[in-house]
Amino acid sequence: MFYSDLLPISDQTVITVKLTDFSSGMNTKLDTNVMPLNLARNTYNFNFSTGALTTGMGFQDLTLPDPYGDIKTMEVPTNVTDIKKFWVYKRWSDVSQTFSPLLLFYSEASGEEGNDEIYWGRVESPNTEFTSLINIHFTSCPVGINLRTDGSDKFFFCPTNSTDSLTTWDSFASPEQWPSAPVITSLAYHANRLFATIGGDKSQIWFSSDVDPTNWIVNAFDGGYIEMTDERGTLNSVISYNNYLYIIREFGISRLSGSGEQNEFVVRHLALSSSQIFANTAVLCGDVVVMLCRDGIYQFDGLEMTKLTLGFENLFKEMDNSSACAAFLDGKYYLACKMDTKDYRFENNTTNMTNNCLIELDLETGEYSILRGVDICALTTIQYKNISKLVACFGSTYKNRLGELTYNGKVFGTPTQKVWESPYTDMGYPSRNKIIKSITMLNRYDSQIGVFVDGQTHIFNVPASNKAVKVPINLRGNTFAIAFYSTENDAYISNPQMEVNLE
């Protein structure tokens, strides 16, 4: 094993191990004893893109600029107990003669007397409140899409339950219901029609009339369906891009081309995957589709699927990610999912969460960051004028809140538990014991060092300082691992160096 930063001193009995760069991230595939110490075996809630361990991601209540240049915090009504989905309704307002978007969310009822409701709020207004949309109720969270029909921008709420109806709203008149729609699992607007994957046996893609997207009656007008029963499995979601409709299936991707009459549609089967695709994570990111499969994150370029090498793919194995979700914002793919945990020190307190991690992946640089310990059930982006925000809905603790992504190391005011843990190593000297004499590092905020020696855990508090801090350790053993922890809002740990004696 080779350590490029081992600096021998005189008789080689004392060495200095330098962890100068944390930017390589995490690797859970390689054997721990062949990994360099600056490559994490486990890390989350830190940002390590600069090479130092710094403040990571967090969430706060959704804020927006108001017309007077101030910042307003959107207020969720106190009777709302469980927000399942959030949308942005982009619309032209004849009154103001501008594009004036609305914010919508679906609230699931709790208790026998509650009602599932849709709430709406304004972006360009000093008003911070959300208002219930009357005369519209669902028994399960609908699929939503923004469409312009008959010269006006409408929002379509599509049923995911056979007892609900397709409902449209133009933001002025009362909502209208259209009972002909099937149970819909995803939909996209393509070739002047709505295309939808549906419930049931999931072998069909349905499409509406080309003159009326509210009409889903198969025998009327030009609405109908296309059936696919090949080895790619069920049809789970649809994405319209570059004159094609891509159909995300359980084990592959198919493509529909053509427009106009039904007999002009052509289906071509493209990628065939050996790993299950989680359809709700398939998102158009610029000119590629990025998605989570059972064995890792993949990128689809319109013809082929390519697996991204991140180093922690095996943390997805045997995880139920059927409820994972994703979004794309400012060149980054955001994935709320469930990952296995490999902590040395802390117990796994995220097993009861639907999703326990949020991954931020920069598709240009390959850099990533992981926020762990937050149960996210839905992700949506707001992009309007100078507003660019990632908005999340939550399960469990924060299920009555709308949160926007931050980089302040806190989740609704509570500091995250920040963790970076090295692999176990014998440093290439399996027959010799080591004495870790001390660790010196730049530590601008209070933190802790964890030293794991032959399976024993030792924790050392490190005070904040603008100068390098030397922490006496004096522990003997054959194999060891090093960790850095923080429960402060902010973090900055840089250039740790260990003084080690070989016996």
Please write the tens of the pLDDT for every residue from 339-364.
998 888 887 666 688 999 999 999 99
- Identify which has the larger pLDDT, 182 or 359: 359
Distance CA 361, CA 359 (A): 6
Beta bridge partners of 244: 241
Band (pLDDT 50/70/90 cuts) for residue 110 is low
The pLDDT value recorded for residue 299 is: 97
Helix (H, G, I), strand (E, B), or coil: what is residue 204?
A: strand
The pLDDT value recorded for residue 204 is: 92
Percent of the chain at pLDDT exceeding 90: 67
- Identify which has the larger pLDDT, 428 or 236: 236
Of 107, 59, 66, give the one whose Cα is nearest residue 87.
107
* Predicted TM-score of the model (pTM): 0.94
The pLDDT value recorded for residue 210 is: 73
Distance CA 186, CA 208 (A): 14
Mean pLDDT for 210-237 is: 78
The pLDDT value recorded for residue 1 is: 39
Mean pLDDT for 204-219 is: 75
* Phi and psi at residue 231, to the nearest 5°: -70, -5
Q: Among 19-33, 327-341, 400-414, 455-469, where is mean pLDDT lowest? A: 19-33
The pLDDT value recorded for residue 276 is: 96
The pLDDT value recorded for residue 222 is: 53
Helix (H, G, I), strand (E, B), or coil: what is residue 284?
A: strand
Give the CA-trace dihedral at 359, 360, 364, 367, to 10 degrees: -80
Band (pLDDT 50/70/90 cuts) for residue 67 is confident
Q: In what order do the strands lie in the sheet with 325-329?
A: 325-329, 332-337, 357-362, 368-372
H or E stretch including 88? strand 83-89
Mean pLDDT for 373-380 is: 96
pLDDT tens-digit series, residues 437-460: 999 999 999 999 999 998 899 999
User: How many degrees, rounded to 5, is the angle at CA 468 between CA 462 and CA 472?
Assistant: 50
Q: Among 213-222, 380-389, 401-410, where is mean pLDDT lowest? A: 213-222
pLDDT tens-digit series, residues 279-318: 999 999 999 999 999 999 999 999 999 999 999 999 998 8
Classify residue 463 as exposed, middle or buried by CB count within 10 Å of its CB (0-12, 13-18, 19+). exposed
Is the pLDDT score of 35 beyond 80?
Answer: yes
Q: Among 262-271, 288-297, 461-470, where is mean pLDDT lowest? A: 262-271
The pLDDT value recorded for residue 115 is: 63
Band (pLDDT 50/70/90 cuts) for residue 11 is low
Q: 243 near 266, Cβ under 8 Å?
A: no
